[in-house]
Chains A and B, each alone.
Chain A
Amino acid sequence: GNSVTQMEGPVTLSEEAFLTINCTYTATGYPSLFWYVQYPGEGLQLLLKATKADDKGSNKGFEATYRKETTSFHLEKGSVQVSDSAVYFCALPTNRDDKIIFGKGTRLHILP
């Protein structure tokens, strides 16, 4: 069945550094792919999504491109801020029903 693997954290960067959080997936067909973010003390919220191959999702300076050839959906941001400190989850739906599978999450710490 469908699955998702993302890099383990924590990831610690200095403010204004470039960010990449890796996410690879195994899927039947071409499901939508998602990145969710969880800020401290809050639930998850959708950061961006891509619905088909070569689509680029973007929001709040974050981007991720749906790469069919490498089965990847890496999250990138050119210049991170302290306020980006959070846990980031890569996700996709299962291939049999409407459940969403989440990666283990990557904790990001941004130092001022």
Chain B
Amino acid sequence: KAGVTQTPRYLIKTRGQQVTLSCSPISGHRSVSWYQQTPGQGLQFLFEYFSETQRNKGNFPGRFSGRQFSNSRSEMNVSTLELGDSALYLCASSPQGGRNNEQFFGPGTRLTVL
């Protein structure tokens, strides 16, 4: 079974621009979560989608949004980029989500905002 894939792997943008990141979960997985990883804050939860609905949300401003398609693929969008948005964005999938279940992570998209 193919793992979680994320595209692109690397991205360079300038302040004020917007960006869309893509995540393809493992086949059959219906839950997709997004995380922001930075050296200072560690891993911070952005949101989780399950069956095309946002099921959980972290404490990020409205500039961060996402969606999930009927095939479970998910996209994350960040508008009006700020320097502080530079980070590794990780996507994770699991069959049903849930508090006791393993999450399978993709390799991440490294976003640099100049």
Contacts and interface: CB of A to CB of B under 8 A. Distances in A.
Nearest to B103: A100
B55 A98 contact: yes
A98 B99 contact: yes
Contact of A99 (B45, B102, B105, B107): B45
A42 B107 contact: yes
Interface in A15-46: 31-32, 34, 36, 41-46
A97 interface: yes
Contacts of B103: 44, 46, 100
A94 B99 contact: yes
Contacts, number: 55
Interface residues of B, number: 23
Interface in B14-33: 33
Contacts of B97: 98
Interface of B: 4, 33, 35, 42-43, 45, 48, 55-56, 58, 90, 92, 97-100, 102-108
Given A44-B90, A98-B56, 8 more contacts: A43-B4, A43-B108, A49-B102, A51-B100, A93-B100, A98-B48, A98-B97, A99-B45
